Amino acid sequence: MSNNFEASIGKIGLFGGVFDPVHRAHIQMAKMAADQLRLESVRWIPAGNPVHKEIDTPARHRLNMLQIALKNLKDERMVIDHRELSNGIPKPSYTCETIKSFMKDFPKKKFFWILGEDQFLKFKSWKNWKWLLGNLILVLCRRPEDNVEKKKSFGYLSEVIKSLEQYGGKIVVLDVSPDSVSSSYIRDFIRKRQDPLDILDKEVYEYAKKNNLYSN
């Protein structure tokens, strides 16, 4: 488990998610990975038809909000990748199929899959997870252990890390700020007509209101 990566051309961060909507914690994870691992780019991959999660918001709205947020971020390393929304990936969209598509398009690149704690703890439920370990470096974005429950969670995370490393997995751990923000939390804010501007891009919020997203 190491965070010591030298700068080099050929390292691409992959950040898959529903992004419903994209928010501050997503941005922080992507920027931290790009900065600390010196990635040439982070490709944001809006989920098409994920296996483990139901999506209520149409893809075009999720994509539009992501485009707004990254435009305002003004970081050329951040790139939106549409392959799971197109017909290029079999449905439902499994991460292993997405990675195979990237390997075909970028055969000489090294891939870093950025994910949060919840996804990481479920990694062994992913299709062909052992194959993924051999073809990806996992970038776990972890919140600090700021309370007793979090310390227990840290212990469990460490066990999962050791378990995956026993299968040859390469895992990088990045400590992010202790935000408890989630997309469901933000959707609830918008549904209650509350203003989540401290955790959500202003234009993304206005887009969600204009299109009556999360109103039910």
pLDDT tens sequence across 128-151: 999 999 999 999 998 776 544 555
Asked if residue 1 belongs to a domain, the reply is: no
Asked if residue 5 belongs to a domain, the reply is: no
Q: What is the CATH number of the domain that holds 120?
A: 3.40.50.620
* Residue 40 CA from chain centroid, whole number: 17
* Boundaries of domain holding 91: 11-209
Percent of the chain residues topping a pLDDT of 70: 87
Asked if residue 67 belongs to a domain, the reply is: yes
Q: Name which of 71, 5, 13 is nearest 40 in CA terms.
A: 13
What's the rounded mean pLDDT across residues 36-43? Answer: 97
Asked if residue 4 belongs to a domain, the reply is: no
Domains: count for the chain: 1
Query: How many separate helices (H) and strands (E) can be counted in the chain?
Result: 8, 6
The predicted structure's pLDDT at residue 148? 43
CA distance 141 to 24: 14
Q: Name which of 32, 16, 14, 12 is nearest 24 in CA terms.
A: 32
pLDDT digits (tens, 9 = 90+) for 81-134: 999 998 767 778 899 999 999 999 999 999 999 999 989 999 999 999 999 999
Residue type, 80: I
